[in-house]
Structure 1
């Protein structure tokens, strides 16, 4: 057996024996010392050091960030975006038509002379409010204003229609249309782009402060000729329509509108690697993160939040958070263009979130309802801009203050060095663990052939022991554990048929049986020294 093959075999078996959800890159960097020659071959392989982050590093591959909180306790965080709501999806302006007919009240029949009659009147109309909205003003970005004038009068009619509620953006003057209607041309249709105007709906025809009012003034002059025949019911009519109106900015009161987040499924795949045992988080929080640039508050009701476990069990959210609406704030009118961030926390004080998260759920069902301008929120002047948005995300924070009891991870790794075993007769692998973590680990290795059948098993044994915990929550000192794994000649012959290894690790925290939660601080480490002794037929050729 060549020196290179000895080294590759020992490293492979050592690395496999230490696979407890760790990062294999550390093995690649392990320093090999010089060989020590005895009647057999004894090889100190090196020393490996793992932090808490390294030991739980596989979770980062499933989207979990591993860091630490302000107390230097290791923190697992998981973020996901639920959905966002744009302004145009939240509020639409309906098509609307306003019409009025004005009788002249004249009785003219072949007078034989010309006459002129002047009329003027001011009208006000109500904007349609489908959800209790009340607008002060709207800056339009699209759509059209269509106006139709009609006369039934057998005479020339000069008219002026002043739309006091539509203000030209450039001139700051109201929209005015004027013209002449005759018996031969009794109808006129006009159209203009709404984007040229701001709708001011804040005053009635008497100048009083109101909302949702459109004010229109009609002036017309009847020029009766000597042949005109006019009855009292003859008159002038007009209609004005807002067609496909779009808004850039709306001021006033948006009313009560709801936004439902229906049955969002949040996948928590990072729990999939743990199939047996339990992990109980003492202080997890499930945070709903709202970024709101709408100018109004929102009430939030958690209609349904439930965890679906690996076995399909459904655990619903309970506690005051499930029944008490939360408030999401919005920017005030002086801060248009900004966004307000609100975090609504579900934690152990207001819910059973520790139970939900400790069930290691496969998915979380989320159904949340939001309502604008809830009665429980302070009154606020409303606005909504076309670029405004409400985005909703979740942030799951899991400080490593946990109780772990027999938590099992099963993984399969390739084992492709069977050709290096032919000259090995006996192998003893020694592992010396110095552990500062309040966590013990046991390991079992099942070597399998190409068909997935077990050819050799290293039975479950303690790999490292949890350190004791002091009154301050920190471990009092490292524990030391020595493990020897022996491979006899017959065992090694069986390993020649192996192509993969099932690695079963079982983790248990210190005093787990007493339901004690322990803290994993970021400066804890697990150090393992590796050494091996092999009886081989040595071949010094490369």
Structure 2
């Protein structure tokens, strides 16, 4: 019996495993004992379907996990989201214009040589992040520019700019310029900004100005503009920002995880005893991300969605706060995880919908700190969220499965000519160690995929194995042969078949009372042969 390696379906594993490992046929294992006269026994083939041999030649290795004791699990993984903080959290450019006004109550007019006059004022430059309401305690800069431009008329003297919140090597920035040439631009690489905060919580970089007027200057009338100042912060790339970023939200893209495990199931249910959805987090940003899910849905073959619910699923009101590095762990990546199972959710019922895929919609929001606390974001801080769906093959099931159409070899070379045959019996001898019973059906299709016949009556079954010695592992079961009786009227249908369409009902042993486990040592051996009753040739 030949099929493509993709065409023999591993009914017994309850999943769409595919593979066929051919072995040498041993005629002694084929029971041809039938009282047919005259008769001819024709071995067709033998197959050994075993998990371990199958895994050695399967593209599904990356989703199958086998524990030390041979217990089999299916494991689907997907990345939910990942990112680098400098790509999502930045310092915006900012500008401020301010006029310094004569508030002395008198004219400022220096027209006698040697006379001077001093005036002090300040300007506050906004320091604005992607999150406008973030409290910024300090910013260590990799690059950026501060530009100050000053416009005045009929003034002589100097202006000194002092910015205590702009520090390099522990020294606050200060510079003195001539009022005839007051403008300047500095690179902020290597500087640290320490903003002050007003009552509204705005982050402000205060620049103090001391103007020394010299003769001749003025006149400037009371209430008149002495100088106009424009300050610009631009192109700021940070190394580290310290502060409180509570309320900043990252919406992860919706993620769909395909679950081909269920793709061939058409009706019924499968109940896993211990399924899990695991979320894994990696975080090198020193902020408390609160992860929550707006929806997790099982999407079935009709594109209908079934929600995952329960107290174990973080919500916006009760997020999962993932671990993050403390200030003394800056530069380290901290890992964390979350497990959703049948104890904290409806996961078993969720999976009983036999979904084609599972969609996850998640977000994260940085939670607020106590007023005296600070957190940090490095420019290269990273976060990563990934998901795994683990399906230990432990549970109970009763469902229908419909498999792909497969090519069927012409049997004309294996049996006598049709005109010499009165009756054919296709006999299958089976040894099954899987704790699963299969009620098979195979439809015969011609070259145009028109159904010619079905092989089974619906009463035949591959009997499931049971644990006979109490060690928790099913023991191999050899059942009486399964015979498919093909009288003369049905033989032509078999010979004319060019394709097979397989369908079956699968039921775990002692369903629904017992949960069963599948181990990699389980196997199914079957021997297939044809017993032919020949026409008696009288020579007349």
Question: TM-score when scaled to structure 1?
Answer: 0.80
**Alignment CA distance shift 1:431-1:498 (3 Å):** closer
**Alignment CA distance shift 1:192-1:53 (3 Å):** farther
Please state how far the C-alpha of 1:255 moved relative to its aligned partner.
2.4
Using the alignment, how far apart are the partners of 1:274 and 1:204 within structure 2? 62
Specify which of 377, 381, 384 is matched with residue 384 of structure 1. Answer: 377
Which residues in structure 2 correspond to 1:409-424 (within 5 Å)? 409-417=402-410, 420=413, 423-424=416-417
Using the alignment, how far apart are the partners of 1:428 and 1:118 within structure 2? 116
**Alignment CA distance shift 1:22-1:267 (3 Å):** closer
Using the alignment, how far apart are the partners of 1:348 and 1:327 within structure 2? 21
Using the alignment, how far apart are the partners of 1:211 and 1:472 within structure 2? 71
Residue 321 of structure 2 aligns with which residue?
327
Bigger Cα displacement from structure 2, 500-509 vs 171-180? 171-180
Residue 499 of structure 2 aligns with which residue?
500
Please state how far the C-alpha of 1:257 moved relative to its aligned partner.
1.1
- Report SS of the residue matched to 1:40: strand
Using the alignment, how far apart are the partners of 2:534 and 2:459 within structure 1? 26
Residue 114 of structure 2 aligns with which residue?
114
Please state how far the C-alpha of 1:174 moved relative to its aligned partner.
3.9
Using the alignment, how far apart are the partners of 1:341 and 1:138 within structure 2? 26
Residue 353 of structure 2 aligns with which residue?
359
Using the alignment, how far apart are the partners of 2:197 and 2:461 within structure 1? 83
**Alignment CA distance shift 1:230-1:347 (3 Å):** same
Using the alignment, how far apart are the partners of 2:238 and 2:9 within structure 1? 63
Residue 438 of structure 1 aligns with which residue?
435
Bigger Cα displacement from structure 2, 95-104 vs 477-486? 95-104
Which residues in structure 2 correspond to 1:394-405 (within 5 Å)? 394-405=387-398
Does residue 512 in structure 1 map to residue 516 in structure 2?
A: no
Residue 521 of structure 1 aligns with which residue?
519
Using the alignment, how far apart are the partners of 2:256 and 2:17 within structure 1? 29
Residue 271 of structure 1 aligns with which residue?
262
**Alignment CA distance shift 1:145-1:98 (3 Å):** same
Does residue 156 in structure 1 map to residue 156 in structure 2?
A: yes
In the alignment, is the contact (CA less than 8 A) between 2:7 and 2:18 conserved in 1? Answer: no
Which residues in structure 2 correspond to 1:13-28 (within 5 Å)? 20=11, 23-27=18-22
**Alignment CA distance shift 1:534-1:23 (3 Å):** farther
Using the alignment, how far apart are the partners of 1:17 and 1:179 within structure 2? 86
Please state how far the C-alpha of 1:354 moved relative to its aligned partner.
0.9
Residue 48 of structure 2 aligns with which residue?
48
In the alignment, is the contact (CA less than 8 A) between 2:433 and 2:477 conserved in 1? Answer: yes
Residue 35 of structure 2 aligns with which residue?
none
In the alignment, is the contact (CA less than 8 A) between 2:220 and 2:226 conserved in 1? Answer: no
Please state how far the C-alpha of 1:34 moved relative to its aligned partner.
7.9
Which structure shows the bigger proportion of residues in helix conformation?
A: 1
Does residue 368 in structure 1 map to residue 365 in structure 2?
A: no
Residue 478 of structure 1 aligns with which residue?
476
Please state how far the C-alpha of 1:419 moved relative to its aligned partner.
5.8
Which residues in structure 2 correspond to 1:204-283 (within 5 Å)? 212-225=203-216, 229-232=219-222, 233=224, 235-261=226-252, 263-283=254-274
Give unmatched runs, 5+ long, in structure 2. 33-37, 536-540
Deviations 1:260-318 (A, max 9, x none): 23654443343221112221112111122222222111112222222232344432222
Residue 178 of structure 1 aligns with which residue?
176
Using the alignment, how far apart are the partners of 1:439 and 1:447 within structure 2? 25
Please state how far the C-alpha of 1:203 moved relative to its aligned partner.
6.4
Deviations 1:145-169 (A, max 9, x none): 22112234x331212223332334x
Residue 5 of structure 1 aligns with which residue?
none
- Report SS of the residue matched to 2:351: helix
Residue 7 of structure 1 aligns with which residue?
none
Deviations 1:220-279 (A, max 9, x none): 321113x85344545344332112433332122222111223654443343221112221
- Report SS of the residue matched to 1:350: coil
- Report SS of the residue matched to 2:402: strand
- Report SS of the residue matched to 1:493: helix
- Report SS of the residue matched to 2:21: helix
Bigger Cα displacement from structure 2, 380-389 vs 289-298? 380-389
Residue 445 of structure 2 aligns with which residue?
448
In the alignment, is the contact (CA less than 8 A) between 2:39 and 2:531 conserved in 1? Answer: no
Question: TM-score when scaled to structure 2?
Answer: 0.81
Residue 147 of structure 2 aligns with which residue?
146
Please state how far the C-alpha of 1:328 moved relative to its aligned partner.
1.2
Residue 315 of structure 1 aligns with which residue?
306
Deviations 1:410-467 (A, max 9, x none): 2211124366367454654433322222111222111101221112321145452112
Residue 295 of structure 1 aligns with which residue?
286
**Alignment CA distance shift 1:16-1:203 (3 Å):** closer
Does residue 77 in structure 1 map to residue 75 in structure 2?
A: yes
Please state how far the C-alpha of 1:358 moved relative to its aligned partner.
1.6
- Report SS of the residue matched to 2:493: helix
**Alignment CA distance shift 1:99-1:140 (3 Å):** same
RMSD of the alignment, in Å? 3.9
